[in-house]
C-alpha cells in the first residue's frame, strides 16, 4: 500500500514536471500574442473617468474569464473531434480583427459624423456615461474573446501530441496567466496618474524625488494611452494577418519572401480594408430593414 502511495506521488511529480516544461514552451509560443493582447486591451480599457477606471476594468476582466470558460472546453472538444472547425473560427476571428484595425485607421483619416465626442467626459449625462461604458466594455470583451481564441489555439497546438489531461492543465494555465497578467498590467497603466498624484502629495518639499517621479507619471499617462491606441491598432492588424498567413497556404506563399512582421501587417491591412466597406454596407442594410 505504501509503495502504491509513493508510486502515485511519483506519477504526480512526473505530471507536474511535464506540465511545467510544456507550459514554458506554450508560454514562449504565445508571448507575442500576449503582448498584442496587452496593447489592445489597455487601449480599450482607457477613456473613462478616474473613479470609474477600476470598476470598468473589473467588468472587462470578468468578461475575459467568462470568455476563457467558454473557449477552453469548446477548443478541447473541437480539437479532438472537428479540427477543421478550429481553422474556420480562426479565419472568422481574423476577419473581425482586421476590420477593427482598418476601422480605427479610417476614423483617424476620415472625419466621422457619427463619432461620439467623449474627450470631455465630465460633460456627459449619467445615461450617456453608462452607454459609453457599456459600449466600450462590450467592445473590449468581444476583442478579448477573439484574441483569447487565438491564444488558446496556439497554446493547444504546442501540446497536441500530449495526453488530454496535460493539454487541459497546460492550456488552462496559459489562459489564466493571460487574463491575470494582461489585466493586472492594464490596471497598473490606467492608475498611473493616481499613483503619481499620491507621490506628489507625499511631502511638502518642492522638487523632491517623489515630486519629480509623480509629475513624470501624471504627464506620461496621456502619451502612453495615445501610444497604446496606435500600438493596439497595429496589434489588431498583425494578429489578423498572422491568422491568415499561418492558416491559409496560398496567402503564406504570397508573402513568404517578406519579413514575417511585414507580410502579416500587409495581409491584415488588406483584409481589414476589404472587409470595411462590406461591413459598412451590411450595417446600412440592417438599419434600413429595421427602420421599416
* 121-142 residues labelled b (16+ CB within 10 A) or e (exposed): eeebeeeebeebbeebbeebbe
Q: What would the grid cell of residue 261 be?
A: 512582421
Distance CA 265, CA 270 (A): 9
Residue 76 pLDDT: 84
CB 101, CB 268: distance < 8 Å: yes
What is the DSSP code string of 38-98? HHHHHHHT-SS-GGGHHHHHHHHHHHHHHHHHHHHHHHHHHHHH-HHHHHHHHHHHHHHHH
Residue 160 pLDDT: 66
Query: Does residue 273 surpass a pLDDT of 90?
Result: yes
Query: Does residue 102 surpass a pLDDT of 60?
Result: yes
Q: Among 27-36, 44-53, 243-252, which is the least confidently predicted range? A: 27-36
Distance CA 195, CA 174 (A): 30
Element (H, E) at 34: helix 2-44
pLDDT > 90 in the chain, percent: 10
The model's confidence at residue 117, banded by pLDDT at 50, 70 and 90, is very low
Distance CA 120, CA 42 (A): 20
The model's confidence at residue 41, banded by pLDDT at 50, 70 and 90, is low
Q: Return the domain boundaries, the chain.
A: 22-190+223-291
Query: Does residue 10 surpass a pLDDT of 50?
Result: no
Amino acid at each position: 500500500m505504501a509503495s502504491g502511495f509513493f508510486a502515485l506521488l511519483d506519477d504526480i511529480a512526473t505530471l507536474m514536471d511535464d506540465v511545467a516544461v510544456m507550459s514554458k514552451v506554450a508560454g514562449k509560443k504565445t508571448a507575442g500574442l500576449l503582448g498584442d493582447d496587452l496593447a489592445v486591451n489597455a487601449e480599450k480599457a482607457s477613456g473613462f473617468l478616474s473613479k470609474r477606471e477600476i470598476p470598468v476594468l473589473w467588468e472587462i476582466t470578468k468578461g475575459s474569464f467568462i470568455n476563457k470558460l467558454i473557449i477552453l472546453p469548446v477548443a478541447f472538444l473541437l480539437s479532438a473531434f472537428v479540427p477543421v472547425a478550429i481553422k474556420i473560427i480562426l479565419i472568422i476571428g481574423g476577419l473581425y480583427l482586421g476590420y477593427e484595425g482598418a476601422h480605427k485607421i479610417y476614423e483617424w483619416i476620415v472625419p466621422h459624423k457619427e463619432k461620439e465626442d467623449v474627450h470631455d467626459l465630465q460633460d456627459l449625462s449619467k445615461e450617456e456615461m453608462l452607454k459609453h461604458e457599456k459600449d466600450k466594455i462590450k467592445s473590449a470583451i468581444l476583442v478579448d474573446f477573439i484574441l483569447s481564441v487565438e491564444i488558446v489555439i496556439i497554446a493547444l497546438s504546442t501540446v497536441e501530441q500530449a495526453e488530454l489531461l496535460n493539454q487541459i492543465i497546460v492550456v488552462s494555465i496559459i489562459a489564466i496567466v493571460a487574463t491575470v497578467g494582461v489585466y493586472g498590467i492594464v490596471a497598473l497603466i490606467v492608475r498611473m496618474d493616481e499613483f503619481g498624484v499620491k507621490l506628489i502629495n507625499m511631502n511638502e518639499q518642492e522638487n523632491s524625488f517623489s515630486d519629480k517621479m509623480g509629475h513624470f507619471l501624471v504627464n506620461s499617462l496621456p502619451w502612453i494611452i495615445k501610444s497604446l491606441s496606435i500600438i493596439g491598432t497595429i496589434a489588431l492588424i498583425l494578429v489578423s494577418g498572422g491568422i491568415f498567413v499561418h492558416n491559409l497556404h496560398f496567402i503564406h506563399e504570397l508573402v513568404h519572401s517578406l519579413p514575417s512582421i511585414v507580410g502579416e501587417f500587409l495581409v491584415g491591412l488588406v483584409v481589414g480594408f476589404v472587409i470595411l466597406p462590406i461591413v459598412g454596407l451590411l450595417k446600412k442594410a440592417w438599419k434600413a430593414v429595421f427602420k421599416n
